[in-house]
Chain A
Amino acid sequence: MRIQAMSHMGQYHTDANGTNEDVVCSGQNNRLCVISLADGVSTCREAKAGADIASKAITHLFLTKGNLIMNLDNGRLADLVFSHVLHELKKQAARMGLAVEDLSCTVTSILIDKKSGKMLCYHLGDSMILAVGNGKCRVLGMPSFSTDGCIVTTTENGQRKACVSWFDARAFESVAIVSDGAWQNMFSKNRLRQDVTTMLIHGDYGTLEEYLASKKCADDYSFISADTREMGRRCA
């Protein structure tokens, strides 16, 4: 399954000589494909490290235990994934002598069973999941909006706020995870811009990347996509 990704530092971090705190990650085997995106909380000391650990932890979990996970109910699944990521963050925090909150981030991941087409979306935070197909785009995973602050990997009882949803990947041509720094420039109010819709429908991610670069996004901007039309083919 073809995976494309891009991730760039936003103007805010560039001006502050910071780092890009978005991390994209992917993996696949004969049966399963996983794409993930984590976005570090800027005010946290080791946001980048946290995003790195979260995206790798969830990708690894889905890739190695995906068959098992696909059979769990949503509640247990959310508990398992959330606690696994948190556990990995705590381990790293202990190594670094920090509080786990210093590694806070959002994390979103898509697990696809290439044989059955079953697709699991796990979504925590303000990134977005998009699907493209039949000349249309859909938002499958809504970004969280809250006056109380974004739900992140270290939020108490955050597993209750994690969104778990299921789809048939064969209904789409591609699926993508987009960080908030990117989608905020892809939408006008709450509707996808027409020019961006065209880019997504044609899979023209190069043009999308140029478009986002031209916007001088304040926040780090990233996306990672999987081409689901190629399901069932052998990986190169």
Chain B
Amino acid sequence: MTETNVSITRRLAAVVDDLQSEFRVLCDEKDFENKLNALKKAGTKSDRASKLRKLFDLFDKCGIEYERGKDNTYYERLVRDSNIPTFSDIGDRMLLSLFKKYDAYPSPEEYMKRIVDRLSNAEDGWQQDTLRLRILKQFIKYGNYLADAKIEGKSTVRAFAEKKLGKKSPSDEEVLSCLSDDLFNALTIEKPNYSGLSKEEAKKAKQRDKERRKETRRKTELLKIADDLASGKFRSEGATKKYLYLFAMVFDMTYYSGNGDFFNPLTDVETNLFRDYYANNLIRFITDAYTGRRSEFENDPSGQGINYKNFAEMIYLYFISGEHSPQDKIRLSSEMITRVKENQFQQGRIDTTRNGGTQYYRGLFKVDDPGKLYSEDILSKSEEEFERFICDTYDCETYIPGDGEMRKKDTIVGPLQVETEQNSAYQEYRKVLEDLRDLGVRLENCNYGLRFTDVAAFKKNGQDTFCRRHPKIDPNKFASFVDLLQAFNDFMGYTPTEKESDQSEAQEWTELATFKTKALFIESPKAITRTSLLVTYYYYYNALNEDVEKGTWMNLEEVYNDFKECIDPILAAANYQPISGRNIIDLLVIFSSYAYLNVG
């Protein structure tokens, strides 16, 4: 995506507005033909008047000037001369407009760069470094290489510096001054070549390489964190969340609790990292890192943001809010998490649902109504009191016994993996599924995905045909946009691989395709995500409104507002962010609903 001079916030705000004005009405030649045919067939004077009114409404909505009191020939000529788009034209227009708007959306890198630019100390003079190098240097200077958080990589960085400087034991200042982006070459693991080896030799070589790769990954963890954060890669098992909290500490970010503090949108950890960057940033579908490497990364961030039921995250927030230096914050938070984990090991679990679930735990840290003065300021507790409070109130059990059935072995989970069930969100999700079933819709038929473009056609023909029709667009940029559409379409439904069929068209169309969309078959509160809930609701919304007479949903603005009004209470009950034009996935989903309801 291209850099522009316009701030990210303004660019995003303009996206939805521009789309709305462009698609204030959606109608094609056929709509006008239908109106004109109805007019020709109109019998009585009153019948003609009502048909004319409908035609005039269409002219008004399309911004076509006309005169009243004319004969049918006049109106037919007017339609002919008004360059009404065909259905195919409209599809192209929608795709083209979305593509232009997509280009305005910031990438994960841009989001992160904005944060780093804003929070860095200008006097460090690292502005010309690559983003990942800047983050790494911040970790080194202000976070002591993240060593206190048991992150390895210091030796790798110092070895690089020693080689470059030609001296042993350089100071941290010397290390910082000589680091360059080629340090990150250490992350590249060469593809092994076992040709020419016997089966036994190859087996031994593979084992050796496996150990070596494991060792390399361990020794370069610090580099990996900087690289991941700079490029928007989200790792599984809560790893990315830990990195974000460490990032927040070294960049001295703030947390707003509502208890004697103020909200600073420029430094707030929840808004900047756990909403904009982590929860909403799904553009990483199109980044190289994700091509063919889905198992290593989350399929999509849960959208939960900060997990207020998780004891480790609360400890991080406590220290982020405190007065210590970044390095001390890292050290003290890591030590407290370790102590709590060890002290509470195999002590049994606290039933957080019975306590009140996420709403209750969120309320312990956040005051939603500043007018209410009776809540305790947890963040003002001493460290000793706070640690006791955590042990008494939170489920800190990392030991999960095997149950002999699904989970045969005893397991120990990481601190950030405790209490990750999203019970409220799962409950809302189940309600939407019930609503779908009540409409007589089979979940197996909810698989048509995006509706404003034929993703299958693009997959088959590539984007060549489209680019030929629109020679001004950059084919490479459009290709990455199509990648996003295809990836998201796979998530929302499925992209069929077209092949020759020996059935007739009538036979082909007798039954709806049945292919399970993963988002509609989530079976655990641990697996629910905001995107899954959104997609499920999308199918419900379309089914609920598809019988409404065409012409009711005539502009994008109305669909956007209605969709948002309907789903926002559900998202809030699920503890997710409301619909936002800043989220490209939200926009794609609603735009697709708009196309579904208007075009079919």
Contacts and interface: CB of A to CB of B under 8 A. Distances in A.
Contacts of B367: 138
B377 A190 contact: no
B260 A145 contact: no
B256 A148 contact: no
Given A136-B260, A167-B371, A191 B321 contact: yes
Interface in A115-150: 128, 131, 133-134, 136-140, 142-143, 145, 147-148
B370 A189 contact: no
A63 to B, nearest CB: 23
A138 B321 CA distance: 16
Interface stretch (B125-133, B264-272, B287-295): B264-272
B263 interface: yes
B263 A142 contact: yes
A161 to B, nearest CB: 13
Nearest to B256: A190
B10 A148 contact: yes
A134 B374 CA distance: 7
A156 to B, nearest CB: 14
A135 to B, nearest CB: 8
Interface majority SS on A: helix, strand, loop or mixed?
A: strand
A134 B373 contact: yes
A197 interface: yes
A139 B261 contact: yes
Given A147-B7, A148-B10, A189-B254, A171 B373 contact: yes
Contacts of A139: 260-263, 370
B371 A191 contact: no
B377 A136 contact: yes
A128 B323 contact: no
Contacts, number: 66
A136 B266 contact: no
A138 B263 contact: no
A192 interface: yes
A187 B265 CA distance: 16
Interface in A196-235: 197
B489 interface: no
A190 B254 contact: yes
Given A148-B7, A189-B252, A192-B261, A140 B266 contact: no
B262 A147 contact: no
Contacts of B259: 136, 138
B260 A143 contact: no
A43 interface: no
A79 interface: no
B376 to A, nearest CB: 9
Interface string B345-379: 00000000000000000000001001111100101
Contact of B260 (A168, A172, A189, A191): A191
B258 interface: yes
A131 B261 contact: no
B262 A143 contact: yes
Interface in A78-135: 128, 131, 133-134
A188 interface: yes
B373 A128 contact: no
Nearest to A119: B371
Contacts of B118: 147
Contacts of B255: 190
Given A138-B371, A197-B260, 13 more contacts: A131-B373, A134-B373, A139-B260, A139-B261, A147-B266, A148-B7, A148-B9, A171-B371, A171-B373, A172-B373, A189-B252, A190-B267, A192-B260
Interface of A: 128, 131, 133-134, 136-140, 142-143, 145, 147-148, 167-168, 171-172, 187-192, 197
* 8 closest A-B pairs by CB: A134-B373, A190-B254, A138-B370, A139-B262, A191-B261, A167-B371, A192-B260, A137-B260
Interface of B: 7, 9-10, 118, 252, 254-256, 258-267, 321, 323, 367, 370-374, 377, 379
10 contacts: A131-B371, A131-B373, A138-B258, A138-B259, A138-B367, A187-B262, A190-B254, A190-B264, A191-B321, A191-B379
